[in-house]
Amino acid sequence: MKVSKLKNVYFLGIGGIGMSAIARYMHNIGIQVFGYDKTRSKLCVQLEKLGMKIHYNEDVNLIPTNIDLVVYTPAIPDSNQEKKYLLKSVIPMHKRAEVLGWITKEKKTLAVAGTHGKTTTSAILTHLLKTGGVDCNAFLGGIASNYKSNFVAGKSKVVVVEADEYDRSFLHLDPFAAAITSMDADHLDIYQDAKQMKSSGFAAFSRKINKGGHLFLQDDLQLRKPIGVSKRHYGIETKEIRAENVQVKNGYFYFDYCDGKAAWRDLKFTLPGIHNVENAVAAISLARLVKVKEKDVRKALSTFKGVKRRFEFIIRKKDLTYIDDYAHHPTELKAAIKAARMLYPGRKLTGVFQPHLYSRTKDFKKGFARALDLLDEAILIPIYPAREKPIKGVTSKTIFDLMKSKSKKIIAKKELVKFFTNKKVDVLLSLGAGDINTEVQGIKNALK
């Protein structure tokens, strides 16, 4: 379907991070956008301010007439009355991932996939391109602080896309080039096990890359080379594309970028952590395919402001640091905690973690426990269920009981602000993909 031919589009679940990015794109090219969501979130308010008409009651009478297309997210349950009604109607109805695929079909798509790291890497890539004069469109899975949005508009044929493995969404894309940052087991409700995830997920995605295109794989990952596509590995001190001489100086990371042709020394980077240096290497490798120059890479890396809730500094003082992070998988927790350790050696690390999904807690309980034991003090709050119903015997205590730490506790989310009022804190991390972020401002005020 030609998206540019559409006139009126209805979004069922418009407030989602992926859905709202597509809504912004359509609005930007002159399409009339309407939508439903159950919650009037900050994202929804921003869309309303742009002129999109959104309602929050599940009511079929509020669905506008003359709709050309309905875009929906799998997060909307089948019991939703509007979804039931629209499925019986003659209006074309497609998932968000399909529509994103249509948008990117006729463009030069640079895609970033991975169970973690894809949002940060695609945001870094967007900033590299914009700084380097490549006026790309970008569809991001988080709010890029440089652009204060999850959608960045542009006029060139280049588009940056965060390629989402959930529900095999990324199989709707046909990228010119792609980076895969990680393939840790996740979304086992979709893939059953890690082997399935690799074969029917990431391997299948790699085969979607255009002939003559490029695949960049994080150095620990192994995938068969797709036919007609170049494949290179990237990482720290690897044989192919690499970061060398990684150092921390004055609160910033510095590294050299080497790919066999370029050898760019002493690049200053604003984000902490070895994992983020790897993300930057992947982004630079993709950016070089569209001729972004060294001077622009230097400028972009030193001016990148990060992504909301990706190691986001809430308080950054000499005697008090508070960082908020979206980490919701054991590997992500370890990366965030280790990044804090590298930045603040010898300081006391306190972490608050909200597990996300009962199924993920059940599947990765041991990994969560090991990751949280890296903290000096660990606080757990109840599981955020999102789309799931409770699983018998699975709670935050499931993780708590497996932890070896002697400084650990479980408290209610509503007690967090009270807990941190007048508490002496050195370095604090709030971690999780649920609604723990709604407590950030209150915790910040309590700490101050």
What pLDDT shows up at residue 427? 97
Please report the sign of the dihedral spanned by the C-alpha atoms of residue 419, residue 420, residue 426, residue 427. Answer: positive
Question: What is the pLDDT of the chain when averaged over all its residues?
Answer: 94
Please provide residue 248's backbone torsions phi and psi, each rounded to the nearest 5 degrees: -110, 120
User: In this structure, what token pair is assigned to residue 373?
Assistant: 């034991």
> pLDDT digit string (tens) for 343-370?
899 999 999 999 999 999 999 999 999 9
DSSP state string for 231-295 = EEEEEES-SSEEEEEEEEETTEEEEEEESSS-EEEEEEESS-SHHHHHHHHHHHHHHHTTT--HH
Chain segment 262-312, per-residue pLDDT in tens: 999 999 999 988 999 999 999 999 999 999 999 999 999 999 999 998 899
Q: How many Å separate Cα 317 from the centre of its chain? A: 27
pLDDT in tens, 77-126: 899 999 999 999 999 999 999 999 999 898 999 999 998 899 999 999 99
Residue 311 contacts residue 323 (beta carbons within 8 Å): yes
Question: Alpha carbon 166 to chain centroid distance?
Answer: 12
What is the structure's pLDDT at 225?
A: 95
Query: What percent of the chain shows pLDDT beyond 70?
Result: 98
Q: How far apart are CA 324 and CA 411, in angstroms?
A: 18
Nearest to 338 by CA among 328, 329, 349: 349
For domain 7-95, is the CATH number 3.40.50.720?
A: yes
The pLDDT of residue 120: 95
- Helix (H, G, I), strand (E, B), or coil: what is residue 83? helix
The answer to whether residue 61 scores a pLDDT higher than 90 is yes
Q: How far apart are CA 181 and CA 276, in angstroms?
A: 10
**23-43: average pLDDT:** 95
CA 248/CA 238 separation, integer angstroms: 20
DSSP 202: I
Q: Give the pair of three-digit tokens for residue 258.
A: 């080497």
- Give residue 71's pLDDT band: very low, low, confident or very high (50, 70, 90): very high
Q: What is the CATH number of domain 106-303?
A: 3.40.1190.10
Residue range 371-415, pLDDT digits in tens: 999 999 999 999 999 878 999 999 999 999 999 999 999 999 999
What does the pLDDT read at residue 192? 65
pLDDT at 165 over 90: no
Q: Tell me, what amino acid is at 175? A: P
Pairwise pLDDT comparison (37 vs 184), residue with the higher score:
37
The 10s digit of each residue's pLDDT in 200-235 is 789 999 999 999 999 999 999 999 999 999 999 999
Provide the residue ranges of all domains of the chain, joining segments of one domain with +.
7-95, 106-303, 312-447
Structure confidence at residue 189 (pLDDT): 66
- Looking at 3.20.20.80, 3.90.190.20, 3.40.47.10, 1.10.10.10, the CATH number of the domain 312-447 comes to 3.90.190.20
Ordered alpha helix ranges (H), 289-329: 294-303
Nearest to 100 by CA among 164, 145, 43: 164
Helices 17-28 and 42-50: angle between axes, nearest 10 degrees: 10
- Exposed, middle or buried, 62 (CB in 10 Å: 0-12/13-18/19+)? middle
pLDDT for res 188: 62
Give the pLDDT confidence score for residue 448 in this predicted structure. 82
